[in-house]
Amino acid sequence: MRRFVGRFEHFTYIVLIIFLIVLLFFTLVELGWTVSTGLFEESVYRLDSHELFNLLGYFLLVLIGLELLETIKAYLDRREFHVEVILLVAIIAIARKVILLDTSTAGELIGIALIIIALCCGYYLIRRAGRPHSFLSDNCTPPSRDTEEP
């Protein structure tokens, strides 16, 4: 029974990857179409603010899709989810929401701000937990304790 469930799970992830690739392809086509019509259309302004927000929304949607694709690929390769990548997807998604936000109430803005703070704190803590010497830059190596002082 476990073997069947494992194969079904693997098949489901493969189908999700295929659907995500198709979705990303059509999102890229839509993004390209919006850019080309916005730039080559005869108007006083090449792209108005509504079209720019629409373009940024599509751009961030492609980034979200790519990060989700990377998450699924990593799970298929190593059978583990990377919480860091999932938090990045969530941060990009909430940034997309903020960029495309037209009008909202004070409660919605406070809720979005709390979500952003929580996601960024979680991302910071996960990144910090992954590095034993988080105050050192990536190019610096920590001092070796094996060397003797004269």
Flag whether 145 is in a domain: no
The reported pLDDT for the residue numbered 142 is 53
The reported pLDDT for the residue numbered 138 is 47
Give me the number of domains the chain comprises.
1
Please enumerate in sequence order all residues whose Cβ is within 8 A of that of 27, keeping only pairs 6 or more positions apart, or say none. Answer: 58, 61, 62, 65
For all residues of the chain together, what is the average pLDDT?
A: 78
Flag whether 141 is in a domain: no
Flag whether 88 is in a domain: yes
The reported pLDDT for the residue numbered 47 is 64
Flag whether 137 is in a domain: no
The reported pLDDT for the residue numbered 24 is 92
List, for the chain, all residue ranges whose pLDDT scores fall below the cut of 50. Answer: 133-138, 149-150
- Residue-wise pLDDT for 4-45, tens only, equals 988 998 899 899 999 999 999 998 998 888 888 777 775 655
Flag whether 148 is in a domain: no
Domain carrying residue 93: 2-130
Radius of gyration of the chain from its Cα atoms, rounded to whole angstroms: 22
